[in-house]
Chains A and B, each alone.
Chain A
Amino acid sequence: MNVLLLGLSHKTAPVEVREQLAFDESSSGSLASALTERPGISEAMVLSTCNRVEFLVQSNSDYDAADAVQAFLNGKSTITETTPFFYRYLNRDAVSHLFRVASSLDSMVIGEPQILGQIKSAYIAAKEAGAIKGQLGVIVSNALRTARKVRNETGIGQLTVSTSYIAVELARKIFGDLRGLSVLLVGAGKMSELSAKHLQQSGVSHVYITNRTYERAIEMAKSFEGKAVPFDQFLRVLQQVDIVISSTGSSEFILTKETASGVITARRNRPLFLVDIAVPRDIDPEINTIDNIFVYDIDDLQQVADANLHERRRHAELAESIVQEEVAKMMHRIETDEVAPTIVSMQSALDDIRRHEITRHRSKLGELTPEQEQTIEAITRGIVNKIAHPPIVEMKKMAGNSDSLHFVEFVKRAFNLKK
């Protein structure tokens, strides 16, 4: 194998550099096929996201692929000196890096799910453009498989880190199943609307909207297919709904502890989840001390997000070991694919010679005892095996290296092996 990965990411290059080099996702296929037209490059894939630009190439070892890619890049961008921002990985390191990136272990936000899709589309684009046709395809599809395995076997992708989605996660922790529940939006705001949308997607079936300006509530109700409620009836609705997202511009609490304890009694203690994303706050934080009511303000949501990120890092350790295990498997497979057929055909060619020579001279030896027959077999086999041993060991040793294919080719020629 002779795989090179050349790239830069949020870890090595500032955004000013990344934006210069970022490619449009739709051009990734044509870029990859343009790369394969360069001398020495047989396969290529180009990955470009807002946080990274990476080139994965399979090359003929007679050429320096890195130079080829650099030359290619110089023709595309205005930045002259990009070398210090680039990392380059060869063979095993390249495979390992790709597997880690796909599994979202190298992401800015560890465990974010988009990268898997981005690699997948880069792979499909390169394949359709004819830039991936051999070993590189096997490597990339295994990277995708590993990423899915990591996602299934660790909790790395399950915990959300975006505050607008945290409300959904908490609601799940409180109610279990969100189907059939209802949410009340008090006031308007980008984030409260976003959270409500997430809740709706997660199964919450009724959306009530209230606003000091009733017209605004009606307008919003349309976009949620919900029900507008006049602001003065807000307390009555509070007895029915399960989740409240509040974001009014009020300078005082719109829900006091006294009112809240009345509400929970009227609800016969059915749990109530209050999300207060207004600043200044709408809901008295003391309400959280009442049984079966859970109050989260914007800082609390952030706190959960931070804890989730911390938890993700713990999952990342497990993910890391899965990735390394898969990399080892991949390398073993590549190595076997590269040298095993040659080893087998060399052994059988040598054995053919041995047998042929025995049949040719056997008649001259006359009658032999079974022990003598066995001795002839043993001697000839010994000679053949001893001759084959050094090149086999050498091939195995070189497997996975950049020069391995060269050496394999040499062995084939030296022993006159077909194919």
Chain B
Amino acid sequence: MEISSTSWLHVALLFYSLGLWHALATVIQRKQQMFKTVVLSFFLGAAAHLVSIVDQTITVGKIPVSTLHQMASLIGFLITCFFLLFYWRYKYESLAVFVFPTVFLLTLVGSLAAPVTAWKGHSLMSWWLPLHVVLFLLGFAALFLTSCSGMMYIIQENELKSKRPRTFYYRLPPLGTLDDISYYSLAVGFALCTLALITGSVWAFVEWGANWVVDPTIALSFLTWLIYLGMIFGRLAIGWRGRKAAYLSILGFCSAALTWITNSGVHSFMQR
């Protein structure tokens, strides 16, 4: 039996998933472990990815960039290449936190192009959507905590900078504590939202085929996710913290709230 390009993409996705897991573990534990193994797995993923793209190119007769799915897959592949090159040349490890989840998600989108028939069993379907919702709500709660502590941080920082302690100076927790809460809730919230995004994408794909990706509310979800990913990357790689990080956390939450409002109820494609 001939292995199709989609199957190769699935193989790549499997290898990339190790990267996603690694990134989330790094974010939560704040230190990298088994990094070399994960890079190797990522390298294998890239190889499978390349096979898939070449296979598709041969089948279609041109570079596959005609659909959004194909484009996502290609961009994911290119990012992987650049990252591996970068890593090989500069050993810049902290970039991985940013790259691993992004590549995984792009490849996931790419692999969700060819329609499949339906759910394999009814029971899987009945818990899949609630799982997506619960994961998202938990993530949303954690990110809410992030923005709350961000707000308190801004107020307390202002008190300390002004050197004239008023009520808030006495009532609010220390900056260090707020920053810790902010980071941990961000890490946990991000991990949960990533899982929610994956479950949601898979659900939408199975139920409605390839069209889901152009849904504006889903695009917004991805944008929110990117903002949070950027925050985490900024924090771990460049040391964004304090006031700027606090403002970002509020911005991120506004975007998350918008996502939630637009996504609550049914997505637009569901009504079709």
Contact = CB atoms under 8 A, between A and B. Distances in A.
Nearest to B173: A176
Nearest to A297: B163
A303 B166 CA distance: 11
B239 A270 contact: yes
A172 B174 contact: yes
A311 B164 CA distance: 12
B164 to A, nearest CB: 6
B170 A311 contact: yes
Nearest to A170: B160
A327 B242 CA distance: 48
B215 interface: no
Contacts of A176: 173-177, 180
Interface string A286-311: 00100110101000100110011001
Contact of B163 (A268, A269, A296, A308): A296
A174 B174 contact: yes
Contacts of B176: 174-177, 271
Contacts of B161: 288, 294
For the complex of A and B, list the 3 residue pairs with the smallest distance between their C-beta atoms, beginning with the closest: A268-B239, A176-B176, A176-B177
Interface string A174-186: 1111000000000
A415 to B, nearest CB: 59
Contacts of A303: 163-164
B175 A300 contact: no
B170 A155 contact: yes
Contacts of B242: 269, 271, 291-292
B240 interface: yes
A300 B156 CA distance: 16
Interface string A266-285: 01111100000000000000
A304 B244 contact: no
B163 A174 contact: no
A269 B240 contact: yes
A300 B163 contact: yes
B174 A291 contact: no
A256 B160 CA distance: 20
B174 A173 contact: yes
Taking chain B's interface residues, is the majority helix, strand, or loop, or is none over half, making it mixed?
helix
Contacts of B160: 170, 173-174, 294
Contacts of A177: 176-177
Contact of B241 (A155, A292, A300, A311): A292
Contacts of A271: 175-176, 242
6 contacts: A173-B174, A269-B241, A291-B243, A292-B243, A296-B163, A307-B166
B34 interface: no
B165 interface: yes
B165 A291 contact: no
Interface string B149-167: 0000000100011011110
Interface in A322-379: none
Contacts of B164: 303, 307
Contacts of B169: 173, 307
Nearest to B174: A176
B266 interface: no
Contacts of B175: 173-176, 271
Interface string A107-127: 000000000000000000000
B270 interface: no
Interface in A173-216: 173-177
Interface in B104-136: none
Contacts of A170: 160
A162 B34 CA distance: 50
Contacts of A311: 165, 170
